[in-house]
Chains A and B, each alone.
Chain A
Amino acid sequence: MHMIESGNVAAATGVKLARAGVIAAYPITPQTPLTEKLSEFVASGQMEAEYIPVESEHSAMAVCIAASSAGARAFTATSANGLLYMNEQLHWAAGARLPIVMCVANRGIGAPWTVWNDQQDSMSQRDGGWIQLYANDHQQIIDSVIKAFYLAEFVSIPVMVCYDGYLLSHTYMPFEQPDQTLVDGFLPDFKPKNALDPENPSNFNTVTLPDVRPDIHGNIAPGYMEIRHCLHQDMRKAMMVLEEIDMKFQETFGRGGHPFVEPYLCDDADHVVVSVGSLSYHFRDVIDLLRKEGVKVGVMGIQLYRPFPDKAIVDALQGKSSVFVFEKALSYGNQGPLYADIKAALYPCDNKPAMHNYILGLGGREIKTAQLLETVRTACSKPKWLGDTPIWLGLKCQE
């Protein structure tokens, strides 16, 4: 069934189709109407779930941790400062290997206060042990939410589904709503690997010491280093699982095929623009215009940011003349996080492209097609290394 709705409703519908059992959310700013929609689904009986309104995002994640530990399929959503307020619990959820799924409607972080779109919030959480998927449109939002539950539960790692605040969260777009019976056939029931069980009581995530030590039965139990190493190895292996899930999704629903990066006119391109989220679709108009001018340029959207799909990125970018990374986030005092990651991935290659880093759209600053067109046209005409200092686009009153 096709529907025309907001990105938030696409996300909520995905959560409903995935039959999440516990939803915990803080209902006020910086929350989006996504959780409001879920509360309607639950109140009207369209969704059989426990809906728990909480007093903070920290508590929302704490409830999800408890629910997931008890074996329930748990979901929450947040944005910006709300995501940061969860921070301590986010690391806990990953370390405890709980397959929670969370939507992040990407927004700028205060101070100064802003509620508009950029990607600083989730980008700043890249090192916490969560898998991060980024959606470019409403169809990808609903599809990613369903795939996210599959992936999270298979690899026992929580998954963030990120999509641009306002640009996707509040705009209306047509998308296909997957059939419930098909989703039920696609998504296996949640069988937690480790869950609380009154019949078989046990302590989870008890204190570890710097070294390994015997448990109460005298067997050597893994220490902190072993447990964290296992998380890292599983994160890397999760890429193969995502690829399999994406293939299965494509067989069932007819959509997919780009689990890691989504290239557009990149094969024969000399220059490639790289960005994350809806901006990569915005760029397609720019690419079409430049192609008409005879500039061999393409754009690549990053669909999976953690674990970092370095092989797919190197395969797509090595040998190109230049790569322009456009980001709505910044590691202050350094570079854009994606730029730094891509540059590191390309380091071992013999034929490295020149790279530019552009920072734009922070705090919802409007990004105009004409501005992107001019920037990429100029960049393609002088495809040489400019140093690592990011170039800020759209600054108005400079000091």
Chain B
Amino acid sequence: MKQDDFSTLISRSDPGPGDGGRTGSWRVLRPVIDLGACIPSKTNKRACFNCWFYCPDGVVSKTIPPVIDYEYCKGCGICAEECPAGAISMIEEAHFMEEKNDECI
């Protein structure tokens, strides 16, 4: 009997988007960046990026302007809490649902 014969099945996955499913559907509050207040967007300098740094799911890009991937953002609100410029507001998903419904009408 060899060591390799044991523990052949475990839960192990490579890191990558979507291993836990599209977690954006869990979101109740959506972070929305006001680009007029956002430091890198306003100054056009690669500075701050607290939203990218603190996002526990790695769904904010380190770009000008920073972009949030709503497919996977769970809406935890840490980015809004950490933004030194107060440029991120958490808006109820229901609001966007209404907008979408209005468009349909």
Contact = CB atoms under 8 A, between A and B. Distances in A.
B103 interface: no
A204 B20 contact: no
A203 B19 contact: yes
Interface of A: 96-97, 153-157, 191, 193-194, 201-208, 215-217, 221-222, 226-227, 229-230, 234, 237, 240-241, 244
Interface in B1-35: 1, 3-20
A97 B7 CA distance: 7
Given A206-B20, A237-B1, A244-B1, A216 B13 contact: yes
Contact of B15 (A194, A203, A207): A203
Given A230-B8, A237-B1, A215 B15 contact: no
6 contacts: A155-B3, A204-B10, A206-B12, A207-B11, A216-B16, A221-B13
Contacts of B20: 206-207
Nearest to A224: B11
A204 B1 contact: no
Nearest to A208: B11
Interface residues of B, number: 19
Q: Which among B4, B6, B19 has the greatest number of chain A C-beta atoms within 10 A?
A: B6
A240 B6 CA distance: 12
Contacts of B6: 154-157, 193, 234, 237
A227 B9 contact: yes
Q: 4 tightest CB-CB pairs across the interface, nearest first?
A: A156-B7, A230-B9, A216-B16, A222-B9
A216 to B, nearest CB: 4
Given A215-B19, A216-B18, A240-B1, A203 B13 contact: yes
Given A97-B10, A217-B14, A241 B19 contact: no
A208 B19 CA distance: 10
A202 B13 CA distance: 6
B39 to A, nearest CB: 30
Contacts of B11: 204-208, 221-222, 227
A176 B16 CA distance: 53
Nearest to A204: B12
B7 A193 contact: yes
A100 to B, nearest CB: 14
Contacts of A203: 12-15, 19
Contacts of B13: 202-203, 206, 215-216, 221
Interface of B: 1, 3-20
A230 B14 CA distance: 21
Given A153-B3, A205-B10, 5 more contacts: A205-B11, A206-B19, A216-B17, A217-B14, A230-B8
A237 B1 CA distance: 9
A240 B5 CA distance: 12
A199 to B, nearest CB: 13
B12 A237 contact: no
B1 A194 contact: no
Given A216-B19, A240-B1, A241-B1, A202 B10 contact: no
A96 B17 CA distance: 23
A94 B14 CA distance: 22
Contacts of B12: 194, 202-206
Given A154-B3, A237-B1, A194 B19 contact: no
A197 to B, nearest CB: 12
A194 B8 CA distance: 10
Contacts of A205: 10-12
B77 to A, nearest CB: 22
Nearest to B4: A193
Q: Which among A153, A208, A230 has the greatest number of chain B C-beta atoms within 10 A?
A: A230
Contacts of B1: 237, 240-241, 244
Nearest to A215: B13
B17 A193 contact: no
B14 to A, nearest CB: 6
A202 B14 contact: yes
Contacts of A157: 6-7
B19 A193 contact: no
A79 to B, nearest CB: 29
A153 B3 CA distance: 8
Contacts of B3: 153-156, 191, 193
Contacts of A202: 12-15
Contacts of A216: 13-14, 16-19
A201 B15 contact: yes
A160 to B, nearest CB: 18
Contacts of A97: 7, 10
